[in-house]
Amino acid sequence: MTAEPWLDDLDGTVSAHVVEVDGVPMSGIVAHAADPRGVIVAVHGGATRAGYFDCPGHPANSLLRVAQSAGYTAIALDRPGYGTSRPYADQMDTSRRVDLAYGAVAEFTAGRSTGEGVFVWAHSAGSELAVRMAADAERGAALLGLELAGTGLEHQAVAREILGGHERNAAPAGVRKLLWEPASLYSPDVIGGAMIASRTPPFEGAELRSWARVTFPALAPAVRVPVHFTAAEFERVWRRDPEALAEITALFSASPRVVADEFVGGGHNLSLGHTARAYHLSVLSFIEYCVARHTHPDLPTP
């Protein structure tokens, strides 16, 4: 068995890699398509690793595998401060984390086609890095689009009670209630995420506390590519009512298209549940729109 248990599930379809970016080793797992329509960069949430997007023991639920089968190269990054880059976390301000993420994508795809371009797909706490990437004046404007899930602008009442203002210090039992219930949404061996768990880097607590109040509202208006936002039916952390979704979509004032969808049958960890494949395919349909828009710039915007 490897030091990282989830790596035992990897095969010729999905492989683990480490690349060096500006002196920092950046790790991730990759599923290359032979002639990709584009590249999907998947950004995991808090206290997990890249394996979130290649559900251990359940290959049918893997974003990387379904994306590859649809003709896309898919890269699940260990976010800066996670994986092999964790020892360098104390050197990572926000701009360096964005540079490291973009640099890692360039290294993972070096010498290979990226098709029509790069689409960034983020979950939960990974949305902070993803929105920063998309808001980057030059590199962000060149992206195909952005998917966000498991995030928002305001916590639900039950989440406020459990998390308070210090998400990283909440009682494990309370966090489990928020992230993994109803339990019927997941296979028993997946609940809790032990196979893909990771310590969080020191800077993440402060980033989480300022995300909804400061960072998200400040950066979203700078995003100039299509945005898809998914609210899971059984999301328990973030408000997902129509008013909350309207506030979120309104933030992306410079985006040519913003879609907010409720995903029926999903919980907070959308890519690990029984309906993960359906979720992945639903966002892939949006990515197909982004590819068509890039290929045909005169395509009318819905």
Domain locations along the chain = 5-295
Q: What is the pLDDT of residues 5-60, one digit of tens each?
A: 545 555 668 999 999 999 999 999 999 999 999 999 999 999 999 999 999 999 99
* Mean pLDDT, rounded, of the chain: 94
pLDDT confidence tier of residue 79, bands split at 50, 70 and 90: very high
| pLDDT of 170 | 67
Contact 288, 116 (CB under 8 A): no
pLDDT confidence tier of residue 174, bands split at 50, 70 and 90: confident
Which CATH topology does 5-295 take? Rossmann fold (3.40.50)
DSSP state at residue 268: S
The amino acid occupying position 15 is S
What is the value of pTM for the model shown?
A: 0.95
| Packed helices 94-108 and 126-135: angle between N→C axes, nearest 10 degrees | 80
pLDDT at 3 over 60: no
Q: What are the structure tokens assigned to 235, written together? A: 């999301």
| CA dist list (Å): 130 to 6, 77, 134, 287 | 24, 11, 6, 16
Cis peptide before 182 (omega within 30 of 0): yes
| CA dist list (Å): 5 to 8, 112, 193 | 6, 29, 11
As beta bridge partners, residue 232 has 263
Q: What is the pLDDT of residues 54-71, one digit of tens each?
A: 999 999 999 999 999 999
